[in-house]
Amino acid sequence: MIGYILRRIGTSIVVLIGVSIFIFGLLHAIYPSPAIDVLGDRANSALVAAWNKQNGFDDPWFTQYLRYMGNLVRGNLGYSYKLNQGVSALLGEVWARSAWLSGVSLVLSVVIAIPLGVYQAIRRNTFGDYAATGLAFTVYAMPVFFLGLILIQLFALDLHWFSFEGSQSNSLLSIIVDWHAMTLPVVTLTLLTIASFSRYMRSTAMDVMAQDYIKVARAKGLPERLVLLRHLLRNACLPMVTLIGLSIPALLAGNLITETLFNYRGLGLLFYTALGNVDYNVLLAYTLIGAVLTIVGNLVADIALTVADPRIRLA
């Protein structure tokens, strides 16, 4: 087991290096230097060249990449020329906010989507299944931005049940207890994830229900509740583990829109702002974080699968 995990971690590091080279090269090809942004629009070519030389942006791109990675290893993510702050400090100020929003949404999604999917599989082609399917399709087809706007208009501006914006507090504790402000952004993210997860869970649960061991369990006279809990749920959840692992970076992307819409300062908004400003180092850091989360999500999912199903690590 330990050998398996070490092999997977080693592979992940190689993938991460490959991704970082690709991202760095791509960004460098589009924006070779932030000189114009730093010096202003009227900077002439001589001034730009002098600035590039002074800051190492005239070096070959791979040299710049190695320098960046060297700093990265030492915990230095670079400097935001636009915000006059270190990127590490910027990320440090907002990551917990994003993690809370994503984490709560993910947990709620899993807690609701798994039983919902099983229910739909058991009661397939009934009114309840049709209703849940219809709702899931409606929400799934809806852009995050649009769904958020509808929730704001209905529950914040018309009914005044919740705030139209997320918590503005800088204290994570205050954010956690501020359900009035956090309900709508959490619900927006959760609804979208439930729509996806429940459909997947319904499908896998139906597959498992057709398996022989379910028929055997029922033939033995095992109560339906135990058939579902002991035999169906555990096996049907295996693909969900992978899905949840893969959804972690997707939640980060989802945060971008949700945070922007609900005036909630987090990683997504930081990226959005950096995109508008062409804030070179922030863009790099955020994209690398996305890559790390993707790889870590996969790794965790793989490890969880091996724990849940020992046959996998033997394969």
Asked if 291 interacts with other proteins (CB under 8 A), we say no
Question: Closest distance between other proteins and the C-beta of residue 267, in Å?
Answer: 12
Binding flags for other proteins, 62-91, as an x/- string (CB under 8 A): -------------------xxxxx---xx-
CA 94/CA 42 separation, integer angstroms: 34
Query: In the numeric block, which tokens belong to residue 179?
Result: 């359900």
Asked if 96 interacts with other proteins (CB under 8 A), we say no
Which of these segments, 47-55, 114-122, 129-137, 198-206, binds other proteins (CB under 8 A)?
Answer: 47-55
Question: Closest distance between other proteins and the C-beta of residue 263, in Å?
Answer: 4
Which of these segments, 28-36, 99-107, 131-139, 243-251, binds other proteins (CB under 8 A)?
Answer: 28-36
Asked if 99 interacts with other proteins (CB under 8 A), we say no
CA 233/CA 250 separation, integer angstroms: 25
Residue 84 backbone phi and psi in degrees, to 5: 55, 40
Question: Closest distance between other proteins and the C-beta of residue 228, in Å?
Answer: 43
Closer residue to other proteins (CB): 165 or 309: 165
CA 24/CA 288 separation, integer angstroms: 9
Binding residue for other proteins, selected from 12, 15, 19, 31, defined by CB under 8 A = 31
Which of these segments, 6-14, 30-38, 122-130, 202-210, binds other proteins (CB under 8 A)?
Answer: 30-38
Asked if 146 interacts with other proteins (CB under 8 A), we say no
Asked if 156 interacts with other proteins (CB under 8 A), we say yes
Closer residue to other proteins (CB): 199 or 265: 265
CB neighbour list of residue 208: distance below 8 Å, 6 or more residues apart: 214, 231, 232, 235, 236
Binding flags for other proteins, 168-207, as an x/- string (CB under 8 A): x-x-------------------------------------
Which of these segments, 36-44, 128-136, 195-203, 232-240, binds other proteins (CB under 8 A)?
Answer: 36-44
The CA distances from residue 78 to 75, 88, 286, 293, in Å, are 9, 7, 12, 20
CA 192/CA 109 separation, integer angstroms: 9
Question: Closest distance between other proteins and the C-beta of residue 165, in Å?
Answer: 6
CB neighbour list of residue 5: distance below 8 Å, 6 or more residues apart: 303
Q: How many residues bind other proteins (CB under 8 A)?
A: 46
Per CB under 8 A, residues contacting other proteins are 30-31, 36-45, 47-48, 51, 81-85, 89-90, 93-94, 145, 149, 152, 156-157, 164-165, 168, 170, 259-265, 269, 272-273, 276-278
